[in-house]
Structure 1
């Protein structure tokens, strides 16, 4: 059992230097690596950036644990059967297509015990984990808790979006409870285990191979708006002191490896630093929108971004379309038809997305590749062009999101050939009529 602070207590703030101890006095005073740590603990640093990164960008935490994490037997290739994660996206192992793609809800296994690790499947991505360049999009479907198994991703940061069922996540930094309409970010190298308090669970994962997620710059918005730093929550220290057999599953270069150890990996009694997992409630997002005319670009709904080396572009943006008011005058209010230089993977947590009146369902997904045209379906166009433009609410009871990237994504064959792929998706636009009339001028 976890000992120390009460479960699911959090520290507010994004990017802060946090301190947390489950036993009073467990944090050393005055230095990070005393000859003998309090309570006979061992000091261990977890670095999320290179040692020589400038102070403003340096991310690391000190963990004070019962046994060093190096105490385990050698890693061996994962032996529980073929896994579904991918770390490279070359032509031999993946599929490229500019076609608009939609998947119906990914099924949760029926009658099988599948945990978070074994239920993870890669949908697509770009780049190579070994080169620390690119990203991947995954889906997870799980029916059972991980038990005495922990997962560690050496390839990148994971942004987890639960869609069905809460996730009780035990991390080295403390426990996190994540419900649908919340997100959790667990960075590279952090060990965690997932339990399912509500039974079968499903959700989405965005993985970035380089850099870390951060809050987007606000520019002309000013100091306030979008996601506020104080609404992010980081766990407080709790620890397990056991001699049970544990399995550590490590994702390394897109492959899974397994090691055994005779103690819990969650034996951190105290920690301090700015490299820690966190969660965020999407209901806290302060939406910004037009109050005059025209539809603002979807970038205005960015919650987190992982910036690229090119200013103004991103390895990945996490964007949401939350409940809000729309008041634009003389404006086609749904998302406009567009082609752009980003890849857009969309998912739906609950409700009905405002630009699609059927087929795009919770637990499903869509992919609109770079420069592939897309936009609202025929029914949405019909309603939007005939409605009275009075102030009104949109997206109540709905939460759609988007993983957006400057990279061109390739699909795994699993995703491209999945039985839930909706091959009739193109029909969403077939019924849009040509209303052009050169004799009729509308002001």
Structure 2
């Protein structure tokens, strides 16, 4: 994270005695990245965070993938995966490569305590509300929130509404951060950034829970492990540092527009090792007198593109089945752009002055290595999507 926070009670110096009201010592935990040479946080526990009383295997189903061969575009309708479950065990794998795994779940019940020891996770809330309980405190989240969960942060998801919370989940093998070009050398958001520190929400106070013999499910490179801790991990009375979970709502993303169509990097929101995440939000149309307001045909020669539609696509794309929750998957090697009749219709509407705002609301994940299909995508793929490119 680009700036420092301090929450709850912490001592005046790092790594010094910090005593409880009864005179005993709090247990200090340093969560550090890149071998303790990058961002970190110091947490102060009532009990030792190392007190494990049992270890077992956690079997994670549905992790196999299938190559995208023969190479073709895909249309995945995630709403057909709305079968319930929790945000940890209920997620269905859509796509994966060596750098990233993308999953979906419509969670209708609390998850177990969980942490990912492989990398950061990004949760995008398409609909519903939830309380995200973490070792750092609580985040209340709702529609269009991004939640960035740092590596090895113990947390759980608790749906809070009468409807499921629909989550698009990106599991990284490293950190997920704002793009470097948005930040100063010291980590402050710069003036040209489409969002800034004021738009980010982090836990504001400690969240302490009593409990004994508490299970935590851990995802790691060899699979899954269940740890049973003597005391509840949520016993932190204070923490400080630059590493913590936070939320950012895509409605606070300020789009950058131009006289002609702007390329996807203009909408970049986060980046991770081997991938980027973009936010497409409603914005003014281009204003060149001869503007073409839909994307030109393009070939992502070294990227697979997943476009998750937060709202149903309008115009001709809506007629091709790209409804709310749909994902279009355009792999490297496939040239794509306007769908059938979309180019002519958009130009006619622009010339007639009928279009003022582009209404697209979507999250895009571009990866720099090929993605393979997960079992979730294969279960709800529309096999007719390739035909929508005929005579475009």
Q: Report the TM-score, using the length of structure 1 for normalisation.
A: 0.79
Identify the residue that residue 275 of structure 2 maps to in structure 1. 316
Query: Does the 8 Å contact 1:126/1:407 carry over to 2?
Result: yes
**Secondary structure, aligned partner of 1:35:** coil
Indicate which of 7, 20, 25 corresponds to 2:7: 20
For structure 1, list consecutive stretches of 5 or more residues without a partner in the other structure. Answer: 1-13, 87-92, 128-133, 309-314, 433-443
Identify the residue that residue 29 of structure 2 maps to in structure 1. 44
Indicate which of 65, 68, 72 corresponds to 2:48: 68
Deviation at 1:164, TM superposition (A): 2.2
May I ask how many residue pairs the two structures share in their alignment? Answer: 378
Identify the residue that residue 101 of structure 2 maps to in structure 1. 136
Structure 2 residue 251 is the aligned partner of structure 1 residue 283: yes
Instruction: Tell me the alpha carbon deviations over residues 179-216 of structure 1, each in whole angstroms, 9 at most, x when there is no partner.
Output: 11111000111010100012322221112212432234
CA RMSD of aligned residues (A): 2.3
Deviation at 1:217, TM superposition (A): 0.7
Taking structure 1 as reference, are residues 85 and 278 closer, same or farther at Cα in structure 2, changes over 3 Å only? farther
State which drifts further: 277-286 or 96-105.
96-105
Indicate which of 66, 91, 95 corresponds to 1:120: 91
Query: Does the 8 Å contact 1:245/1:262 carry over to 2?
Result: yes
Deviation at 1:336, TM superposition (A): 1.5
Instruction: Tell me the alpha carbon deviations over residues 203-260 of structure 1, each in whole angstroms, 9 at most, x when there is no partner.
Output: 21112212432234159xx723412232112212322241244220100116222122
Structure 2 residue 228 is the aligned partner of structure 1 residue 255: no
Superposed, which structure 2 residues align to 1:107-256 within 5 Å?
107-110=80-83, 114-127=85-98, 134-146=99-111, 149-198=112-161, 199-218=163-182, 223-253=191-221, 255-256=223-224
Taking structure 1 as reference, are residues 235 and 215 closer, same or farther at Cα in structure 2, changes over 3 Å only? farther
**Secondary structure, aligned partner of 1:224:** coil
Structure 2 residue 306 is the aligned partner of structure 1 residue 345: yes
Aligned counterparts of 2:205 and 2:316: Cα–Cα separation in 1: 43
Identify the residue that residue 390 of structure 2 maps to in structure 1. 430
Identify the residue that residue 291 of structure 2 maps to in structure 1. 331
Aligned counterparts of 1:143 and 1:195: Cα–Cα separation in 2: 8
**Secondary structure, aligned partner of 2:178:** coil
Query: Does the 8 Å contact 1:145/1:196 carry over to 2?
Result: yes
**Secondary structure, aligned partner of 2:310:** strand
State which drifts further: 346-355 or 259-268.
346-355
Instruction: Tell me the alpha carbon deviations over residues 141-185 of structure 1, each in whole angstroms, 9 at most, x when there is no partner.
Output: 222112xx2010001110110112112100111101121111100
**Secondary structure, aligned partner of 2:171:** strand
Extract structure 1 runs of 4+ deviating beyond 6 A. Answer: none
Aligned counterparts of 1:270 and 1:393: Cα–Cα separation in 2: 49
Structure 2 residue 59 is the aligned partner of structure 1 residue 100: no
Query: Does the 8 Å contact 1:150/1:249 carry over to 2?
Result: yes
For structure 2, list consecutive stretches of 5 or more residues without a partner in the other structure. Answer: 184-189
Query: Does the 8 Å contact 1:181/1:399 carry over to 2?
Result: no
Taking structure 1 as reference, are residues 387 and 276 closer, same or farther at Cα in structure 2, changes over 3 Å only? same
Aligned counterparts of 2:213 and 2:82: Cα–Cα separation in 1: 27
Query: Does the 8 Å contact 1:237/1:271 carry over to 2?
Result: no
Taking structure 1 as reference, are residues 316 and 115 closer, same or farther at Cα in structure 2, changes over 3 Å only? same
Q: Report the TM-score, using the length of structure 2 for normalisation.
A: 0.89
Indicate which of 12, 15, 22 corresponds to 1:33: 15
Aligned counterparts of 1:168 and 1:303: Cα–Cα separation in 2: 23
**Secondary structure, aligned partner of 2:109:** coil
State which drifts further: 165-174 or 239-248.
239-248
Query: Does the 8 Å contact 1:344/1:367 carry over to 2?
Result: yes
Query: Does the 8 Å contact 1:78/1:258 carry over to 2?
Result: yes
Aligned counterparts of 1:386 and 1:241: Cα–Cα separation in 2: 60
